[in-house]
Amino acid sequence: MSRTNPVVPATSGSLPDDGDSPSHHSSHEMNGSERKRTGEDAVPEKLMPVSNEPPASDTILAKLKRCVIVVIPPGGILASAFNLASSSIGAGILGLPLAANSSGLVMALVYLAVITSLTIYSMYALGLAAQRSQIRTFEGVALALLGRGFALFAAGVRIFHGFSGCVAYVISVGDIFRNIISSSDSAPQFLRESTGNRLLTALVWLCAMMPLVIPKHVDSLRYFSTFAVSFMIYFVLVIVVHSCTHGLPDNIHKISVSKDDDAPVVLFNSGNKAIEGLGVFMFAYVCQINSYEVYWDMTDRTLTRFTLASGLGMTLCFLLYAMVSFFGYMDFGRKVDGSILLMY
């Protein structure tokens, strides 16, 4: 007994669906999720909120952010180099002219070149240890390689270094305020006293220094590191200009090759004084404390890229340190007895 399929009447001008037409296949191929999405997207235009604000992509801050990301991409070589350079450049740069006075000008430049090379090699060694051990912290690597005792020692060194570095920065800020206020005739008497100076220094520490330790990743500080290095370059240029217009033209004709108590500038010093400035040069290159944080925040993380970032950062430090040592020492000569900030 034969069975026939019911024929659906066609609407005006249409043919009956025989099961092989494209419309038949398309209706069966549409799944439930597509029908649900079609229903959710079918929102009347009059219900859509209308905003008169410009799109986020067209705002000035968004454009500035895109430009910064293009120039200094997060986790890139340049961002890592600025973070390492910012970790090195600090209060130590202020004592370089005094260190050059102790060791001699030529020996100061030799010390800087040797310490720069050794610092880059130390960063390579730390990156190699991080790559092979896959440990993300300085103390963790010390624990895995040298045991619990040395891990506690490394943690103590990091605590001491962080605290002493913070104290050095605070002292430098206090010296800056003291010189600025003492040379101003309109400054209040309260700010001229030690209490007012301490209040300003504490406010700068609370509002500008302490918030920088809040971000979870070191790479988040790449903007602050870039600005910090830029301002330090400006500071070095000020030292160069002041030296060229004041002490350098006179002291350059009074240079002594060996130790001479009457010469304002000495190229090679001798005795115990010749190595007194070595500690200052070494302190100016302490960036290993943040090496693992910088390494693990890199996007395309390789030992070669990390070493290249370290080389760029330390080379920038060497150029700035050499300029400060040379021009700062040539400006004031043997009169330098402390921070270069106190000489202006």
pLDDT of residue 21: 46
Ranges 59-63, 90-94, 147-151, 338-342: which has the least confidence: 59-63
pLDDT of residue 328: 93
In a domain, residue 310? The reply is yes
90 and 287 Cβ atoms separated by less than 8 Å: no
In a domain, residue 12? The reply is no
In a domain, residue 155? The reply is no
Half-sphere exposure in the Cβ direction for 81 (13 Å, CA)? 16
Averaged over 220-239, what is the pLDDT? 84
Mean pLDDT of the chain: 80
Q: How confident is the model at residue 1 (pLDDT cuts 50, 70, 90)?
A: very low
Q: How confident is the model at residue 26 (pLDDT cuts 50, 70, 90)?
A: very low
Radius of gyration of the chain from Cα atoms? 32
The number of helices, as runs of H, and strands, as runs of E, in the chain is 15, 2
Q: How many domains does the chain have?
A: 1
In a domain, residue 62? The reply is no
| pLDDT tens-digit readout, 257-270 | 888 777 889 999 88
Distance from C-alpha of 74 to C-alpha of 66, rounded to nearest angstrom? 11
Distance from C-alpha of 299 to C-alpha of 74, rounded to nearest angstrom? 7
Question: How much is the pTM?
Answer: 0.72
What backbone torsions phi and psi does residue 256 show, to the nearest 5 degrees? -115, 135
Looking at this protein, which amino acid is placed at residue 157?
V
In a domain, residue 38? The reply is no
pLDDT of residue 108: 93
In a domain, residue 170? The reply is no
- In angstroms, what CA-CA distances link 20 with 16, 98, 136, 271, 314? 11, 93, 62, 102, 73
pLDDT of residue 11: 43
Residues 6+ apart with CB under 8 A from 189: none
In a domain, residue 282? The reply is yes
pLDDT of residue 70: 65
In a domain, residue 77? The reply is yes
Which residue range(s) make up the domain with 233?
A: 70-141+217-343
Distance from C-alpha of 172 to C-alpha of 91, rounded to nearest angstrom? 7
91 and 169 Cβ atoms separated by less than 8 Å: yes
pLDDT of residue 238: 93
Looking at this protein, which amino acid is placed at residue 173?
V
217 pLDDT more than 80? no
SS3 state at 256: strand
Other Cβ atoms within 10 Å of 307 Cβ, number: 17
SS3 state at 266: strand
Return the biggest CA–CA distance within the chain.
129
Averaged over 306-333, what is the pLDDT? 94
Residues 6+ apart with CB under 8 A from 286: 87, 88, 92, 161
334 and 264 Cβ atoms separated by less than 8 Å: yes
313 pLDDT more than 90? yes
The strand pairing partners of 255, in sequence order, are 265
pLDDT of residue 76: 84
